Amino acid sequence: MKQLSELEQQDLKSITAKGKTMLFFTATWCGDCRFIKPSMPAIEAEYHDINFIEVDRDKFMDLAVELNIMGIPSFVAYQDGQEVGRFVNKDRKTKAEIEKFINNLAFAI
């Protein structure tokens, strides 16, 4: 999974401009983030057409505030620069819940 720090020369619009992008907000101290992180490679493999980008909420607090990310782990989905869905709250998320969220997104075919 790419990390936002690797893309710090770009802004959010350029990162999400083309195709399907999923921002995964996390932090090193977050127990619920550590719980779901081992499942992320399998989720990425299942949804290979989505560009997953991990965002360290503490390093990119301005972005988290801009996107109203108050709890982590959280997910924000984009297609061709437009937000198409979000799974944003402070609750622990399971692999099945994340897959259900992705399956219910309004991604255009």
Residues with catalytic roles: 30, 33
Three-state SS annotation for the chain: CEEHHHHCCCCHHHHHCCCEEEEEEECCCCHHHHHHHHHHHHHHHHCCCEEEEEEECCCCHHHHHHCCCCCCCEEEEEECCEEEEEECCCCCCCHHHHHHHHHCCCCCC
